[in-house]
Each structure stands twice: as C-alpha cells, then as structure tokens.
Amino acid sequence: MAEEVDRLSALPLEIKTSILHLLAIDDAVSTSSLSRSWRHVWTHQSYLFFDLSYSDDPDWLREWVDIAVHVICSLQGPIVHFDLCYYAETYASLDLFRFLHLLFHKGGLQKLWIYNTGCTALIQIPYFQSLKDLDLSDIHLRLPSDFQGFEQLEVLRLSCVFISQQDIQFLIDASKYLKVFRCSVHSDGLQPLSLTFNSPLLTSIQYYFTEFMTQVRVINAPSLEEADISTRIGPNSSSEECAVIVAPATKLMADIAIVSDFSLDFETLKCFSQVPGSRALNVQFLRLRSLHLEGMNSFLDQRVIATFCCLLRNTPILESLEIKVIFFLTLLLLAMV
C-alpha cells in the first residue's frame, strides 16, 4: 500500500501563511499543534488583528495585552498591517505605547488601524518610515517634537480624534503622497482648527464639520474626484448655530467643485437652509456625475428641499442621484422593542 501523503503539511509556506491570514490570531497560533511543519508557520504572519473590546474586565484585558505583546515579539518578519480594537480606561495610553514601541522596532509597518472604544487615550505616533495607511479612532493624538512626517502616507483617517492645530496641519503638509483624507477631529482645547490642503495627489476627501472648525480650504488638489461633507446638528438648531457650520463649509464647497462624486447629509442641507443669503449651494458642479444624499426624515422641511433643488440646478451633467432617508419613527419603534 502506498504511503499516505500529508497534503496539508506539504503546502508551500506562502500558501500556509495566506491561510492563516484569514484566521483570528488565536486560531492562527493554535495551528502550531497540527504538525511539526505547522509549528512555526504563524510566526511568519505580516497582518495582526486584535479585538480586545469584548470585555471591560481589567484582569481579562491585562492577560490579552500580554498575549498580544508576546505574539508581536514572536513574529519573525516585519508586521505590514496592525489592526487593534481596544477597550480600556485605566491603562489605555500605556498599552498603546507598548504596542507602538514594538511595532516601531519591528519595522516595515504600512497600515496602522487603532480603534479605542473605552476612552480617549493619549498617544504619540513614532516615525514609521514605510507607513501608507493611518486610521485612528477615539484617540488624543500628539506628534513627537522631532516628528518629520510620514513620507509614504497615502490614506489618513481620523475619527473622534483630539489633536492640536499645529499637529494636524503638519501631518497633512508632510504627507506629500496623500490621496485619501477622512476626518472627524476635535480641537485639543487650545485653539480652533483651521486646515489647508495643498495636496496634488488627493483624490478623496471626507469631512465632518464640528463647532471646533473655523476653516477648511483645498487650494491645490487637481486630482480630487470624490467629496463627502457631513455634520451633526439638532432638527431645531438656530440660525446662529447653523452659521458656525456654514461659514467654513461654504468655502470648502467652492474648493471641491471639480469632483465627479459628491455626498452630503440632510443636516448639512439644514444648515445651509437656515442661514439667509448663504451662497454655498450656488457653486457650479460642472463635472459632477454622481450625487448621494442621506439623513433622517426629521430634518426634512420645505426650506431643506428648496436648498437641495438649488444644488441640483447647478449639476448640469448629473447622471446618478441616490437618496437614503432614515425615518425617525422607525428608529423610535426599534428602540422601544
């Protein structure tokens, strides 16, 4: 009888690594017990995803943080993509510092995604020379005093991030290859934010306006194709409250008029409709082919509809219109259930 072949163990290392790439890291590590040929395959992983948000039990979190540190130290090659979903209130900044310190010394990091669901942790991002994609959420971000920028950065996403005017502007200016910018930031309390983009390679911008923003200008982005503008206000917001949003949004609308794909929400239209004499929607979108509108029905009234019609009249070659209405009554019934 012919000797039975272990086809699973005979797979090339590249294929084994690709298989483990699809597994959670604890499952990937457990494959070391399959056979001798699989014992160290997991140490060749270049992508790590840790979801440490399952529990707020400090003992459980401490154990898993130590496991994550051990895994990072055990990997033989560079970590190309590090993805962390984290929940902590006491040790958040210290734990994130440990992770970032290890990743820095590993080298080769291209994607860094950190979502902190417990609190706004204070972190400093070290200089990752090869970083191309930075995605941070619920972080109080400070750049080191000797920070030189991420020379290769192409994608920058900041959600509910507290950052100073100087740091975020420097981060944008130093990213010469920036292509995608997604931002929902808050001032660190020292001064309001005023951003300027001089990014020739920028193709997509998404901005969430808050009361912390005084100005957003795109002065040089000839490659810009996609824009998304949103804000959060109450259905009964006053004209004065809306004017705080409209002032910077008006200038940004004129700057992004070259886009072919544009998204905005009912809240933003509500702001424009509340401010008498607002000229933001008189901008001619001569290249716009796809328009997306989304929001809750509680923001819809005659003035909002009239403002939207004004926008439509300024899109002469529009080909696609998508409107998504979230009905407040439906959400209320679901909440009651």
pLDDT tens-digit readout, 28-65: 888 887 777 788 888 888 888 888 877 777 788 888 88
Contact 239, 275 (CB under 8 A): yes
Return d(Cα 234, Cα 163) in angstroms, integer. 25
How many C-beta neighbours within 10 Å does residue 250 have? 19
CA of residue 93 relative to chain centroid, distance:
20
The answer to whether the beta carbons of residues 214 and 190 sit under 8 Å apart is: no
CA–CA gap between residue 97 and residue 115 (Å, rounded): 14
Q: Can you give the pLDDT at residue 61? A: 80
Tokens of residue 300, six digits:
């819809």
**β-bridge pairing 121-124 and 193-198:** unpaired
What contacts 24+ positions apart, CB below 8 Å, involve 297-300? Answer: 297/325, 297/326, 297/327, 297/328, 297/329, 298/235, 298/328, 299/235, 299/266, 299/267, 299/269, 299/270, 300/266, 300/325
- Looking at residue 318, its pLDDT comes to 94
Task: Summarize the confidence of residues 1-29 as an average pLDDT.
Answer: 73
Phi first, then psi: give them for residue 279, nearest 5 degrees.
-105, 10
Residue 337 is predicted with a pLDDT of 38
Per-residue pLDDT tens digits for 294-310: 887 666 778 888 888 88
* Residues 63-120 pLDDT 10s: 888 888 988 999 888 899 999 887 766 567 778 888 889 999 888 999 999 987 655 6
Highest mean pLDDT out of 2-11, 262-271, 289-298, 315-324: 315-324
Structure confidence at residue 26 (pLDDT) = 75
Per cent of the chain over pLDDT 70 is 86
- 326 pLDDT more than 80: no
- How far, in whole angstroms, is CA 199 from its chain's centroid? 18
Q: pLDDT value at position 190? A: 64
Phi then psi dihedrals of residue 36, to 5 deg: -60, -35
Of residues 230, 265, 272, 233, the one with CA closest to residue 250:
272
Integer Cα distance of 177 and 198 in angstroms: 11
Q: What is d(CA 30, CA 288) in angstroms, rounded to the nearest whole number?
A: 51
**For residue range 124-136, what is the model confidence (pLDDT) as tens digits?**
888 888 999 999 9
- Predicted local distance difference test score (pLDDT) of residue 331: 41
- Write the secondary structure of 262-286 as one string of H (helix), E (strand) and C (coil): EEEEHHHHHHHHHCCCCCHHHCCCC
Which uninterrupted H or E stretch holds 149? none
Task: Using pLDDT thresholds of 50, 70 and 90, give the confidence band for residue 149.
Answer: confident
State residue 88's pLDDT score: 64
Q: What are the E-state strand segments in 42-192?
A: 47-52, 81-86, 111-116, 121-124, 133-142, 155-163, 180-187
Question: Global pTM?
Answer: 0.85
> For all residues of the chain together, what is the average pLDDT?
82
Residue 118's pLDDT is 58
What would the pLDDT profile of 208-258 be if each residue is shown by its tens digit?
887 667 778 899 999 999 999 888 776 667 777 777 777 788 788 889 999
Average pLDDT over residues 268-297: 80
CA dist 89 and 118 (Å) reads 6
Nearest one of 183, 124, 137, 173 to 153, comparing CA atoms = 173
260 exposure class (CB count in 10 Å sphere: 0-12, 13-18, 19+): middle
pLDDT grade for 280, boundaries at 50, 70 and 90? low
Instruction: Write b or e for each residue in 81-94: b if 16 or more Cβ atoms lie within 10 A of its Cβ, otherwise e.
Output: bbebbbbbeebbbe
The mean pLDDT of 189-197, rounded to a whole number, is 79
pLDDT at position 6: 67
| CB-CB contact of 118 with 87 (8 Å) | yes
Cα torsion 121, 126, 127, 129 to 10°: value is -80
Q: Which residue has the tokens 């969430």?
A: 208
**pLDDT band at 25, cuts 50/70/90?**
confident
The DSSP string of 106-126 is: H----EEEEEE-SS-EEEE--
Mean pLDDT of 157-162: 87
95-107 pLDDT tens trace: 888 888 999 988 8
- What are the boundaries of each domain within the chain? 11-45
Amino acid symbol at 201? L
